[in-house]
Structure 1
Amino acid sequence: MTEAPDKIAIAIVTFNRSAFLAELLQSAAAMTTPAWRIVVVDNASTDDTQQVIADAQASFPDGVLVNRRLDTNTGGSGGFSEGTRVALELGADWVWLMDDDVEILPDALERFAPWMERFGCIHGRRYDFDGSPFYWQAKFNQFLGVPLPYSVKDFDRGGYAVTNSGTFEGMLVSADVVRLIGLPDPRFFISWDDAAYAWLAAQHTTVVYVDEFVLKRKREQQQVNLGIRHLNDGSPLFRFHVIRNRAYVGKYFREYGKLNRLGFGLGTALTLAKEVFRLVVVQHTLKGVGDLVRGFRANRAIWRDDTWRPMDPADVPPALPPATEPEVRR
């Protein structure tokens, strides 16, 4: 079996979900091929998250579990940006990005290993909280600027499917790719950040979804099974940002000369309709439409902001010479 690269760092973002975090760290300690570093970014939690991290230190060799507590909640986007920065600053060659409400399957890195020889940005499959396969396969439709689902039958061609979208609930990205596209953009706060980041990666490398189960989702959500995908409930913060952040996606598209303003506007209208549908079908309410309206106003303001610039690859920590890498006791 192919061996995984030596310096794989797991970057976990957590906020006030210490019970989930404790289970995730237990699963990380049980991996048959251990991670080189585990960077936990605590987004200013007010529960016992810091105690959970302290208690977990005994399960890992000295220096492996890195605790990065932020002074303010920067959202998932800010957390993944910081986690990636810290991992590369330490000398990681790969960063595996994940939320706190998943469990790592023991042989995950062995399953990833052969794909890491071929691709620079990889997603594995996940089980849902009930043990069923969790559906996530999406590709950006370039005209509309929205990720649309595709079939797992695409795995028949060699066990993987090429995509240009992604999720931070399990995206594995090489440090070389990060140095080409910059750190994840913290300005998103939540929503669209991961899809846009994989789209950026796809402009420089092949982004794939592989037929290997590596994670299990632990948090049960209110959801509706639509057959081709599951539609989960959404929070007021999500509803605001899913519309506001369309502007950030569009600006990145424009930077690469891939923006069709007519199509992208239609994609935004479809996104708005989808969120109203989510409210009615999943949450059985129309309360929350105001969040979408506020998000649209913020969206317009971002489009008008002429000072906006993409993330600068020059801000990514450079690769460290071997002699400067921190020593870890095994």
Structure 2
Amino acid sequence: MERSVVAVIVTYNRLDYLKKSVAAVMAQSFPLCEVILVDNKSTDGTPKFLQELERCNSTYPIRVVNMEKNEGGAGGFARGIEEAYERGADLIWLMDDDCVAYHDALEKLVCGFDALTEKLPVSPAEQSVSTEPGFVCSNVRWKDGEVCEMNIPRATGDWSRYYLPESPYVRVNQCSFVSVLVNARAVSLVGYPVREFFIWLDDVEFSGRIAERCPGFVILDSLVVHDIPQNTGVHFGDVSAKNVWKYRYGIRNEVAYLASRPLGVLKAARYIVSQLSQMSATKVPFSLRAQILFAGLSGFTFCYKSKIRLPAARSSYLDVRSKREPTTRPFSPEPEGMK
């Protein structure tokens, strides 16, 4: 079955990263119908670059979405997915602007999606669950070829039930927005990401919401590089006056997410205590710890589920025949550890 695939990249004031990400997307071995670039009100020259790209690019149709204000990654992806969905995409390929995809990353995702659709391994207890994948995500590495610590998909408890040594698929119930191919049918079922998260956890919540209705998988031979300065996960011991705003969103969102689950209030409270302990161990100033504490407590009253929006009926569908073969030289980053 031929499907229309649209890429969505969200960016904010990271022009140098964006250029590499766009170059990699334009050089994919699997043809796209369109590339949607969501600009979160950048001020670093990104708008000019996108304007020229939209006007002059000859590889794929470019559609630039200029946000009226910076709505963070959560708002940007919600808007980008909405745009792709309303324009009729069957599959929506999501990534941050610091994601650099190997030239066959998308091809591997689509092949995996098709293979799983033809014969998706589900247990007898899941006969009421969709047997078409809700999403398939890439194997995210760091610049040296090692696994990227902040982008490890969360495998299901019974992942080995569906694993075959000869196939590069592992079932997961959560993933990041660093290269994930989302089924538009799943979007119609569960809605869009929660804009109000702003940053952090929007991807985990959204992919988890999909996985509750449609199975998700990581495609191990679909490789991308997350071009971040350090290969570390989120650690509250690193809170500083400069970055505390991110951690405030992070703990609020995590607490809200945990508290919304069965018996989650206790887990959420333990999470707050754990993060405060991390900050205490690294001697984060008390004023910053107080900010994190109050942000965490606010998560108990942050009812994000009421903010989930479902899409309206689609009025158009992309013509897969409009796809054009890439005209640029295939771009394949080769981190030192993966040559």
Normalised TM-score (structure 1): 0.78
Task: Percent identity, please.
Answer: 22
Q: Secondary structure at the match of 1:245?
A: helix
**CA distance, structure 1, for counterparts of residue 246 and residue 194 of structure 2:** 17
Give 1:206's match in structure 2, choosing from 212, 215, 219: 215
Counting only pairs closer than 5 Å after superposition, residues 39-188 of structure 1 correspond to structure 2 as 39-57=36-54, 60-61=57-58, 64-117=61-114, 118=116, 119-135=133-149, 136-139=152-155, 156=165, 158-188=167-197
1:275 aligns with 2:275: yes
**Aligned equivalent of 1:227:** none
Once superposed, what is the RMSD of the aligned Cα atoms?
A: 3.2
**Aligned equivalent of 1:246:** 254
C-alpha displacement at 1:163, in angstroms?
1.7
Letter in 1 for 2:180: M
C-alpha displacement at 1:319, in angstroms?
5.7
C-alpha displacement at 1:268, in angstroms?
1.8
Structure 1 runs not aligned, ≥5 long: 142-149, 224-229, 254-258
Larger deviation: 102-111 or 209-218? 209-218
Contact residue 123 and residue 170 of structure 1 kept, 8 A:
yes
**Aligned equivalent of 2:121:** none
**CA distance, structure 1, for counterparts of residue 3 and residue 56 of structure 2:** 19
Contact residue 165 and residue 198 of structure 1 kept, 8 A:
yes
CA 1:74 to 1:116, structure 2 compared with 1: closer, same or farther past 3 Å?
Answer: same
C-alpha displacement at 1:260, in angstroms?
2.0
**CA distance, structure 2, for counterparts of residue 316 and residue 61 of structure 1:** 32
**Aligned equivalent of 2:120:** none
Of Structure 1 and Structure 2, the greater strand share is in 1
For these two proteins, the number of residue pairs brought into alignment is 297
Greater RCO, 1 or 2 (C-alpha within 8 Å, sep 6+): 2
**CA distance, structure 1, for counterparts of residue 168 and residue 321 of structure 2:** 37
**CA distance, structure 2, for counterparts of residue 122 and residue 329 of structure 1:** 23
CA 1:222 to 1:159, structure 2 compared with 1: closer, same or farther past 3 Å?
Answer: closer
**CA distance, structure 2, for counterparts of residue 54 and residue 326 of structure 1:** 26
1:286 aligns with 2:284: yes
**Aligned equivalent of 1:256:** none
Normalised TM-score (structure 2): 0.76
**Aligned equivalent of 1:298:** 298
**CA distance, structure 2, for counterparts of residue 114 and residue 87 of structure 1:** 21
C-alpha displacement at 1:316, in angstroms?
4.1
Letter in 2 for 1:289: R
Q: Secondary structure at the match of 2:138?
A: strand
**Aligned equivalent of 1:226:** none
Letter in 1 for 2:104: D
**CA distance, structure 2, for counterparts of residue 29 and residue 286 of structure 1:** 43
**CA distance, structure 2, for counterparts of residue 38 and residue 238 of structure 1:** 28
C-alpha displacement at 1:193, in angstroms?
1.1
